[in-house]
Structure 1
């Protein structure tokens, strides 16, 4: 029996991989210095919750086939030190995913935005088409019990992000997947704490393209000029398949998309989602799924969690929650909501929550990102700054950075909630954008803002 130990098993994706390997029949152990919900309950139910928290070098022994190292672990971790002493095989999360999928068809979805949604769309269609597949995705998806699945299926679909793989392997995660079919959705500078300049960030995508083997398939967003130029320069050895916004129409708040073999009315909307869908269709075509079958399946796709997720609605107003946090994502989400409901006012609220967005040096990247909203507000919590050990932000600097004289800036949740309660929601939509939670906001309770 294959024996695997996880250092930092409590991570949101790490514990999902641990459960997947346990389900596959592996002997799985793990450790962490703290484990929160839902990982705590998930690991307990799977029978692999560590018997005590904290690091313990005695858990590491010569009989282990692999040690998987999470991002939370530090270089001085006693279990990691012991694993090195025993010369065990130590993998980062993506390195181990590759080890488990070396004999599979690997599909990787990379890019600065749209990775989760594109991956989710492909998974949705494959499931509807009754194809056996493994997957790795960074969000909760309707119809899937977990976010990682490793079986004996012949193919795997992976959301492939550019963040470092582990504390001892600083290269981006997507450099380790070596896909035969890849999607790149676009390049928009992010993760300033890891990639201090745009050029360094862009180079990671160049490396990804160079690493693909001749004849592999690269499906890319041709409307992104930076990406298009990079693909032309680095991707001459590949089968290149461009995509952009497909033909569509919007009527009564419903988007209908058209491909060569037909059309479908959609549950999701926005040009960015339509491009994600086009990329997903091209991947599915590579897997033998026809346009007709794709359209039939995609019409029931409701979106990934926190991606234009419906919070509340009535006949004249809708409240959406979205994961948008980077400047390009904020702009795209606002544009999509305005295009879908052109007759309604838009109240847009962005939480600055990531390291990049809370960094004064990066704030200028948000210039004009919220210009299309009728009412715009930005929120950041003192608590988030403290956790990231960052200096306080000047509200005037925030307002100047967005280049909006009427921008509302809040750093207290109660004050923000009072502001939201004062707004008029007749023929108006509310859009809440963040990779966080607005300092613990009760989203279902927001229904009272618009009424039934």
Structure 2
């Protein structure tokens, strides 16, 4: 029985990987200085939740087959120091995923936006068609218990993040997977704190695209100007496959795909999601799925959690929630809802939560991103701003940055909730966008407005 120890086991992907290895029959242990829900309950149910918080070098011994290091851990972590002293194999989770999938066909989905949605569509279609595969995805998907699966399947589908690998490895995660089939959905500046130079950020994707091997496939969104610019200059022996949004039309709030075999109604909507769908289709075709099979499966796909997720619907009023936080994601999401329901009022609420979004120097990138909303609201958590040691922006600064003179700012989640509860939602859509949780704002009473 193989034995692995996780340093910072409580992370979203880390705890899913720990659970996947536990299911595989490996002996798993771990440590963390704090573990939140749902990680805590899921690890406890599997019997691998640490007994107490903190770092315990005595957990590290020569009987381990390896240590898996989370990004949350620091270089001076005592468990990491002990593992180095003993000469144990130390893996970041991307390195470990590659180590477990060297003999598989590796499909890696990259891009500043759309990664999770594209990966989720592929996973849904392959599962619906009865194809065996492993995966790593950055969100919980309906029909999948875990965000990671490792088995003897011949294929693995990986959501490839450009963020840093680990405290020991400052390279982007997606470089470790060595894809056979790669996809790049788009490039838009993100992670401003880690990648302050946009040219260097763009170059990460150039390097990823160049890694596509001879005989491999590179699928890329040709309507993204930065992606197309790189692809046009690429010197590669790989097969290059450009894509753009799947042809469609909207009928009474329903998106219909236009295909050679006829109309196909789907539950997704928005130009960005139609691009994601087409990219996912190209990967599925490359893996042997037919067009007929793809269109049959895609009709049942409801979307990934917090990716234009329909929380509740009442007549012609809808409550959506989305993970959008970067400018390109915010604009694509807000525009998608308004374009899908042009005759309905749209209230767009955005929590600025990440370092980039809370940084005054990055704010001009948000200009025009909420233009189609009938009402634009920003929520800032002063505590989150203070933790990042940034300046709390005022309403006038945000109005200038967003180029939205009527933009409304809230810095108290209860005041925001009170305001949202006061609204009349007849023929109105409410869109809640955040990579955070509005300072743990309870949504039940707001959801009830749509029942």
Local SS of the residue matching 1:418: helix
Q: Is the 8 A contact 1:110 1:160 kept in 2?
A: yes
The aligned residue for residue 406 of structure 2 is 406
Separation (CA, whole Å) in 2 of partners of 1:314 and 1:194: 42
The aligned residue for residue 244 of structure 2 is 244
Alignment: residue pair count = 451
Separation (CA, whole Å) in 2 of partners of 1:6 and 1:200: 31
Residue 423 of structure 1: how far off its partner (Å) = 3.0
The aligned residue for residue 267 of structure 2 is 267
Separation (CA, whole Å) in 2 of partners of 1:334 and 1:360: 22
Q: 1:444 to 1:309 in 2, by over 3 A?
A: farther
Q: Is the 8 A contact 1:323 1:433 kept in 2?
A: yes
Q: 1:389 to 1:340 in 2, by over 3 A?
A: same
| Residues 96-152 of structure 1 deviation map (CA, whole Å, 9 limit, x = unaligned) | 100000010111110000110100000000000011111111111100011111111
Separation (CA, whole Å) in 1 of partners of 2:449 and 2:311: 11
Residue 392 of structure 1: how far off its partner (Å) = 1.9
Residue 10 of structure 1: how far off its partner (Å) = 1.2
Following superposition of structure 1 onto structure 2, how do residues 192-341 of structure 1 map, counting pairs within 5 Å? 192-341=192-341
Local SS of the residue matching 2:373: coil
Separation (CA, whole Å) in 1 of partners of 2:443 and 2:311: 7
The aligned residue for residue 166 of structure 1 is 166
Whether 1:185 aligns to 2:177 is: no
Following superposition of structure 1 onto structure 2, how do residues 68-217 of structure 1 map, counting pairs within 5 Å? 68-217=68-217
Residue 69 of structure 1: how far off its partner (Å) = 0.3
Residue 364 of structure 1: how far off its partner (Å) = 0.5
Local SS of the residue matching 2:171: coil
| Residues 384-413 of structure 1 deviation map (CA, whole Å, 9 limit, x = unaligned) | 112323232232211110011111111111
Structure 1 gap segments, 5+ residues each = none
Whether 1:447 aligns to 2:411 is: no
Residue 313 of structure 1: how far off its partner (Å) = 1.7
Separation (CA, whole Å) in 2 of partners of 1:414 and 1:37: 22
| Residues 213-242 of structure 1 deviation map (CA, whole Å, 9 limit, x = unaligned) | 122111110000111011122353321101
Q: 1:235 to 1:128 in 2, by over 3 A?
A: farther
Q: Is the 8 A contact 2:60 2:83 kept in 1?
A: yes
Local SS of the residue matching 2:99: helix
| Residues 161-188 of structure 1 deviation map (CA, whole Å, 9 limit, x = unaligned) | 1110101111111111111011110000
Q: Is the 8 A contact 1:122 1:284 kept in 2?
A: yes
Residue 419 of structure 1: how far off its partner (Å) = 2.5
Local SS of the residue matching 1:67: strand
The aligned residue for residue 420 of structure 2 is 420
Separation (CA, whole Å) in 2 of partners of 1:279 and 1:210: 19
Separation (CA, whole Å) in 2 of partners of 1:377 and 1:390: 20
Separation (CA, whole Å) in 1 of partners of 2:3 and 2:299: 42
Q: Is the 8 A contact 2:368 2:402 kept in 1?
A: yes
Separation (CA, whole Å) in 1 of partners of 2:183 and 2:440: 34
- TM-score (norm. length: structure 2): 0.97
| Deviating more after overlay: 74-83 vs 205-214 | 205-214
Residue 262 of structure 1: how far off its partner (Å) = 4.3
Residue 44 of structure 1: how far off its partner (Å) = 1.7
Structure 2 gap segments, 5+ residues each = none
Residue 370 of structure 1: how far off its partner (Å) = 0.6
Residue 46 of structure 1: how far off its partner (Å) = 1.4
The aligned residue for residue 364 of structure 1 is 364
Separation (CA, whole Å) in 1 of partners of 2:391 and 2:428: 36
Q: 1:219 to 1:259 in 2, by over 3 A?
A: farther
Residue 310 of structure 1: how far off its partner (Å) = 1.4
Residue 74 of structure 1: how far off its partner (Å) = 0.4
| Residues 1-60 of structure 1 deviation map (CA, whole Å, 9 limit, x = unaligned) | 222111111111101101111111212121112222211121122122223321111111
Following superposition of structure 1 onto structure 2, how do residues 345-384 of structure 1 map, counting pairs within 5 Å? 345-384=345-384
The aligned residue for residue 43 of structure 2 is 43
Separation (CA, whole Å) in 2 of partners of 1:426 and 1:33: 46
Q: Is the 8 A contact 1:107 1:180 kept in 2?
A: yes
Local SS of the residue matching 1:426: coil
The aligned residue for residue 387 of structure 1 is 387
Separation (CA, whole Å) in 1 of partners of 2:286 and 2:259: 16
The aligned residue for residue 342 of structure 1 is 342
Local SS of the residue matching 2:321: strand
Residue 329 of structure 1: how far off its partner (Å) = 0.8
Local SS of the residue matching 1:13: helix
